[in-house]
Amino acid sequence: MKKILTLMLAAGMTLAATSGASAVDVKISGTYDFSFSGSHALNGDNSFMDSSDYRHNTGRELNQHNFDVFQRLRLGMDFIMSEQLSAFYQAQVGIFTWGGPYKGASKMENDGGALGTRASNITTRLAYLDWMIPQTNIQVRMGQQEFLLPNYVAGSPVMDDPAAGVFITSPVTDAFTASGFWMRAVSDPLKNAYGEYDYDDADVDLFGLIGDFKYDYFRVTPWAMIGRGGKDFSDVSNAGPTSSGLLPFNGMDRLSWNNGNLTVTPDNSDSTIWFAGLGGEFTMFDPLRLAMDFYYSGTDNGNASTEREGWYLAALAEYRLPWFVPAVKAWYASGDDSKVTNGSEQPLYLSGGFKPGASSYFKGRFNIANTIDNGSAGGTWGISAQLNKISFIEDLSHDLRVTYFRGTNSSNMPNVINNIYGGSVTPANYLTTKDHVVEVDFDTSYQIYKNFVSVLELSYAFQDFDGNVWRNAAGESSDFSNAWRAALNFRYKF
């Protein structure tokens, strides 16, 4: 991969240097990120437990870093033939951590960042072709591309990530644009060493339509997505399940009670997967902006215990003032009820980027520093009071956010999932109606140069998790601690 990237860069520079003799215009762009990150009790699914909590709760030791330095480069190249035809390629170098992981004397290149090693973790992030259908204004993009579903409040809790597919956009009138897409989310794996297929039906194909209505004072975007998940999907991918891992969006295990025991039967059915959403904003009373997002989602595979159906609603009100922008965000996403045999009541998601303001529990600002990194809103509700873009000095601004959020899942479910079904949930990935968090975030941005910014992120999360719920779920002690992080980020965008 490194050789391929080097050759492509060399080709790009050659084409740029001889643009007079070539019909292709090459433009290079990218972002270079560094993050110096310190944190406490942020350890993925073991978050809100420090070393003593983890030792007390499990009897084992927790290996964790309190300070790390991360870096990442995203390097993109546009190959422009004309307004009707172009291509884009983006490679990502990293994310790798300064100092390792380090595996010892071998000094393997994929360690990256460790003394005496070379980082080889270079991947293709985006690779797509843009072209216009001749004699029309219909644009086609095909390949590995960013799929971001419509959102106006707090990012998309459904899909905000690269995926492979075809996206078609066409302006119908001055006020209306229609789009359609096909996404191949998961494909059957190749044959094994014996020439046999381990899984013969694991495809996940999704088809979507988006309508975008733009007027002077408001914008409305309805959208819908439907698809099929093959019966073997859950064996080859972990995309799209509930955060608990209990009920993936296609049938895997049928659940039923038998004399007080939960009976698990493998399910061999396909699933129909569907979403229907609506988002929009209202700006008639500018500088006041009102926005909302809604979607309903579900699956159908003929058995209630393996199906899932839930919804999400979010709203925003913000008022732009000369020195700051006060805002209020609120959301509600349905959660699981107390019955394990009737499926899940959480809304579906694929690879979401939910960002309501609590950057330690949900998605972070740059998606590079240490956070729990929950991209879905499922099973939670909350409200966030914010003062954004506070600025009294040129090139210096601040964002202050206080976010209260709580679970919408039944408090009986963690015990069922962990002790009866055999799954594993913690308050870091599954909040119940008896659990809540108050998170305070304060970010400071300084524009050092035109294309170079430094952002200091400070975050503290106060937890209040119900001891009885999690003692029953763990069958052990349940001690938890507040979590915090401080990250000094630098971004060079070119």
Lowest mean pLDDT among 14-23, 119-128, 299-308: 14-23
pTM of the model: 0.89
In this structure, what DSSP letter does residue 52 have? H
Percent of the chain with pLDDT over 70: 84
- The band of 22, judged by pLDDT with boundaries at 50, 70 and 90, is low
> Does residue 448 form part of some domain?
no
Sign of CA dihedral 414, 417, 422, 427: negative
Tell which residue, 310, 302, 298, has the closest CA to residue 249: 298
Contacts 24+ apart (CB under 8 A), 232-235: 232/188, 232/199, 232/200, 232/201, 232/202, 233/186, 233/202, 233/203, 233/204, 233/271, 235/198, 235/199, 235/202
Percent of the chain with pLDDT over 90: 59
pLDDT computed for residue 385 by the predictor: 98
Close Cβ partners of 390 (under 8 Å, ≥ 6 residues apart): 323, 324, 397, 398, 399, 400
- The band of 194, judged by pLDDT with boundaries at 50, 70 and 90, is low
Mean pLDDT (the chain, rounded) = 86
Buried b (16+ CB within 10 A) or exposed e, 246-272: bbbbbbbbbbeeeeeebeeeebebbbb
The answer on pLDDT for 195 being more than 70 is: no
> Does residue 75 form part of some domain?
no
379-414 residue pLDDT tens? 999 999 999 999 999 999 999 999 999 999 999 999
- The band of 271, judged by pLDDT with boundaries at 50, 70 and 90, is confident
Residue 176 corresponds to which tokens in the numbers above? Answer: 């209306």
> Does residue 191 form part of some domain?
yes
pLDDT computed for residue 240 by the predictor: 42
The answer on pLDDT for 247 being more than 80 is: no
pLDDT computed for residue 316 by the predictor: 98
Q: Per-residue pLDDT averaged across 152-161, rounded?
A: 95
The answer on pLDDT for 370 being more than 90 is: no
Return the residue matching tokens 């959102």.
151
Q: Are 204 and 228 in contact (CB under 8 A)?
A: yes
Our count of domains for the chain comes to 1
424-483 residue pLDDT tens? 889 999 999 999 999 999 999 999 999 999 999 999 999 999 999 998 887 666 889 999
- The band of 237, judged by pLDDT with boundaries at 50, 70 and 90, is low
pLDDT computed for residue 160 by the predictor: 94
- The band of 3, judged by pLDDT with boundaries at 50, 70 and 90, is very low
Q: Per-residue pLDDT averaged across 78-89, rounded?
A: 96
Return the residue matching tokens 């069922």.
416
Domain region containing 169: 134-310
Q: 451: how many CB neighbours lie within 10 A of its CB?
A: 11
> Does residue 178 form part of some domain?
yes
> Does residue 94 form part of some domain?
no
Q: Where are the alpha helices (DSSP H) in 373-493?
A: 413-415, 467-474
Q: 60: how many CB neighbours lie within 10 A of its CB?
A: 8
